Chains A and B, each alone.
Chain A
Amino acid sequence: MSGPVSILSRGDYLIASIQGDLSDAEVVEFRDDVAERLGSHDARGVVVEVAALDVIDSFVARALRSIAVTARLRGAETVIAGIQPEVAIAMVHFKLDLAPLRTALDLDDALELLQRSLYARANE
């Protein structure tokens, strides 16, 4: 795992944090590492934490979407957490749509969201 990232397991969930600006190659590696960990850990949800990113451009957005698709294929839900205000505004101006990805203010809210969502699913 190169670059300022970390991927940790926390019970049923994976917490994948981006802790600094990444090169495109590092973004791709991050995406692939998350996919691999999802497979090996049988996680039911993944939080991708992006509070340290000053810029989210089309490449990063695509990688995030890719993580979510892969996660879904492995039966896990994805929540993107910690998009900063300026970054949110830039993404909207750019028309970088993250839908239907779910987003949360921070890690805590993201975990809560996953919890609720998985609970609701279990009780359907």
Chain B
Amino acid sequence: MSSRSSSAEDVESRVDDSLLRELVSLLRDRRTELREEWVHRITDADLLNVMTPEEIFGEVTAVYDNYVDVLETGSVETLRAYARDLSERIIPRGVETDEVLGIVLLLRDVLARALFVHYVRDGELLNSIFNAYEPAANRIAVTVSVSFVEERERVIREQQEAIRELSTPVLQVRNQLLILPIIGVLDAERARQLTEQLLGAIQSSRAKVVVIDITGVGTIDQAVANHIFQAVEAAQLMGASAIITGLSAKIAQTIVELGVDLSMLTTAGDLQGGLEEAERILGLGATDAP
């Protein structure tokens, strides 16, 4: 930056910079009392009520310091890192989005009032101080909220994934043998997930036999039967043979009526029978299976 800068903007931003430094040092000097006031406001507003007073104190100290740091450096990266860290800590505690936004805004207010009281006698200086403070404080509020929400969404996603996996578990019974119990509705989407999980499990556990139990499947129509066949065929392409169990007489009837050739499927009455058949196949050397 040239020492003989003449543009009004440069002058203004230099003034802003030095004002910013001034207000930052003010906020640091008065850290203890302002932090305490902030905590009062938080508890008055009944925010963070899932946390103990000690926890709140610990968090507000970290937030305060970070807030002032960001005012000073203007670094969004630091802010985002901080916001993510904060979110990761408090989301498991059950803190909601409105609370996070609420406490950040309360801090903004507490600091704004402190600045007001300090500079109120000099109207022009007060104006300049707020010109420096407001954009920075607002950016902090937006960034923290957005980061919090993004973190929430990430957690929700992970939970959804975990639920999905729980509902289609591929179990490794023993070496080279997997069981896939299918429960509930088997639509195209679930079948796709299920097949992908099955094939992934075959790969990672080097399974040679898969027992697919369909006792718990809702309705078996053409579409469902096709999904099951496709899973079986895909497993075979990866060197694993499949045994279908839980095929009640009624379902077998439906499948036959659909014109599907059952002879290419290895079936067994119930899961126990299926496991025994699997053991037999593994004993022979898996891929000699019919």
Chain A residues packing against B (C-beta within 8 Å): 81, 83, 85, 87-89, 91-93, 98, 102-106, 109-110, 113, 116-117, 120
Contact = CB atoms under 8 A, between A and B. Distances in A.
A109 B206 contact: yes
A117 B288 CA distance: 8
Contact of A83 (B196, B230, B237, B288): B237
B193 to A, nearest CB: 11
28 contacts: A81-B239, A83-B237, A83-B238, A85-B199, A85-B203, A85-B234, A85-B238, A87-B237, A88-B237, A88-B238, A89-B199, A89-B230, A91-B234, A91-B237, A92-B230, A103-B237, A103-B239, A104-B239, A104-B287, A105-B239, A105-B240, A106-B239, A109-B206, A109-B208, A113-B239, A113-B287, A116-B288, A120-B288
A91 B237 CA distance: 9
| Dominant SS among interface residues on chain B | helix
Interface residues of B, number: 20
A81 to B, nearest CB: 7
Given A92-B233, A120-B288, A85 B196 contact: yes
Contact of A102 (B199, B230, B235, B287): B287
B230 A93 contact: yes
A91 to B, nearest CB: 6
B202 interface: yes
Interface string B226-249: 000010011111111000000000
Given A88-B199, A88-B238, A109-B239, 20 more contacts: A83-B237, A85-B199, A85-B202, A88-B235, A89-B199, A91-B234, A92-B233, A92-B234, A98-B237, A103-B237, A103-B238, A104-B239, A105-B240, A106-B239, A109-B206, A109-B208, A113-B239, A113-B287, A116-B285, A117-B288
